[in-house]
């Protein structure tokens, strides 16, 4: 039986959590809009397993709109301390409301309030304007728990390709690729550096 790419990711991720000084769960998220224009930004992995890789955002943000228009994406983890990276490609689906609610409840209160105050990805006239909106939201929810906004949720990337890249001397890197098969198995191979 071949290697399970989810298990291999778990092993590498555990090592990254031990060695990376900041945000081992940081990943580049690449999307493309309806016209095919690529976009990339850093987001944080919040859950992962055989059911996919989960991150959260304002669904009305640029990335949210791009994922609705073209529900395919790519992720890239780069762990410089380990001289490793993992690239993952697949389709994307929204997480269930209950899952988004549960995660939102774990965020700091300030982050919860920020989700209400921000029109993520839209033009902002000044930092002072945003800070005033934040203070307004803070007063609004002063005596109650902060609920998850309807426009804030999560996405799950369902992998169809994994590539595990390991640095080697003289740029003779090791690249292992896993491609999902229709029967649920993974075809494993190597790529030239």
**Residue numbers annotated as active site:** 171
- In 3D space, the residue among 153, 127, 144, 160 whose CA is nearest the CA of residue 52 turns out to be 160
């Amino acid at each position: 039986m071949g290697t399970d790419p989810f298990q291999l990711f778990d092993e590498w991720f555990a090592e990254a959590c031990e060695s990376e000084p900041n945000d081992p769960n940081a990943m580049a998220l690449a999307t493309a809009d309806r016209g095919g224009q690529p976009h990339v930004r850093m987001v944080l992995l919040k859950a992962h397993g055989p059911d996919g890789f989960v991150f959260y955002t304002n669904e009305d943000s640029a990335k949210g709109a791009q994922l609705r228009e073209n529900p395919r994406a790519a992720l890239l983890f780069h762990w410089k301390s380990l001289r490793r990276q993992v690239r993952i490609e697949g389709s994307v689906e929204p997480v269930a409301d209950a899952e988004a609610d549960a995660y939102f409840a774990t965020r700091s209160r300030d982050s919860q309030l920020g989700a209400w105050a921000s029109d993520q990805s839209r033009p902002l006239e000044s930092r002072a304007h945003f800070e005033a909106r934040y203070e307004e939201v803070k007063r609004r929810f002063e005596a109650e728990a902060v609920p998850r906004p309807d426009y804030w949720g999560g996405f799950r990337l369902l992998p169809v390709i994994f590539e595990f890249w390991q640095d080697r001397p003289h740029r003779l890197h090791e690249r292992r690729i896993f491609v999902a098969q229709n029967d649920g198995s993974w075809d494993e191979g190597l790529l030239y550096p």
